[in-house]
Amino acid sequence: MTANNRTELGVTTARILVVGVEPDLFDIGPILSRTCFEVYLAKDGKDAIDVSTQHSFSLIVVYHPLPDMRLEEFNAIRRGHDSASARSQLLVLSEGSRLEEAFERAGKGPGVVLSIPTLVDEVESELLGVAARVATRHLIRLDVQLQEGAIVVVGKSEDVSRTGMLVRTSRSYPLGTVVRFETVLPGDPRPVQGEAKVIHHTLVGIERAPSLGLKFISFKNRGFKRLRAFVRRRTPSL
């Protein structure tokens, strides 16, 4: 692969994970489509855990009940000490008849439970509050090249950690696929190269653009050490 990467630095949006909720169904699609939000969609609890434990989110919006697990089970895993989203706020949406149950199962910690149908401006208030708290946070996005066999595609990383990264790309890969990756870090002219495994698929934004969750397997030329130093220099996630 030939490095042809570009780095962008700017004010980031609030990253939100929406779980088990079709935004348009609950009239929150227009709110989430605003430029102050970066939205990821997960169809169920398992998909949400895969992405939220690896990458940090400012807010997680969950519909109760989830189709595949109890809310308290999801919340316990999501708040685990080694989860990247352990400090994320939780917004639970539930039918009025199950509202009390949702309160009980949401457990302790930062979070809000709202019934649906509910006033859209209540949800908007919660979401805009999150956006305001992260308005000064900066995010570095990197161009990333992925290669499987002879096919090379270019994507945009949405988040990078020591263990993996989220990459928005037009090409999808089956779970478990091992790809070679290459990216250039700010201030480092040498490309970081290695191999990573596709561990989850996530939809980004109301336009439902595909994003891949990659877990790093190996690096070339001390790439892990350089990546780790880069991550440490970043503005801490909120």
Average pLDDT over residues 201-210: 67
Instruction: Look at residue 219 in the predicted model and tell me its pLDDT.
Output: 94
Instruction: Look at residue 56 in the predicted model and tell me its pLDDT.
Output: 81
Per the CATH hierarchy, to which homologous superfamily does domain 139-233 belong?
Answer: predicted glycosyltransferase like domains (2.40.10.220)
Which span out of 4-18, 27-41, 103-117, 173-187 was modeled with the highest average pLDDT?
173-187
Instruction: Look at residue 228 in the predicted model and tell me its pLDDT.
Output: 85
pLDDT surpassing 90 at residue 213: no
Higher pLDDT, 3 or 54: 54
Whole-prediction pTM: 0.60
Per-residue pLDDT tens digits for 132-154: 554 333 445 678 889 888 888 88
* Per-domain boundaries in the chain: 13-133, 139-233
In this chain, the answer to whether the domains covering 13-133 and 139-233 adopt an identical fold is no
Q: What is the CATH number of domain 13-133?
A: 3.40.50.2300
pLDDT tier, 57 (very low <50, low <70, confident <90, very high otherwise):
confident
Instruction: Look at residue 178 in the predicted model and tell me its pLDDT.
Output: 94
Q: Considering the chain, what is the average pLDDT of its residues?
A: 76
pLDDT surpassing 60 at residue 158: yes
Three state DSSP letters for the chain:
CCCCCCEEEEECCEEEEEECCCHHHHCCHHHHCCCCEEEEEECCHHHHHHHHCCCCCCEEEEEECCCCCCHHHHHHHHCCCCCCCCCCEEEEEEEHHHHHHHHHHHCCCCEEEEEECCCHHHHHHHHHHHHHHCCCCEEEEEEEEEEECCEEEEEEEEEECCCEEEEECCCCCCCCCEEEEEECCCCCCCCEEEEEEEEEEEEECCCCEEEEEEEEEEECCCHHHHHHHHHHHCCCCC
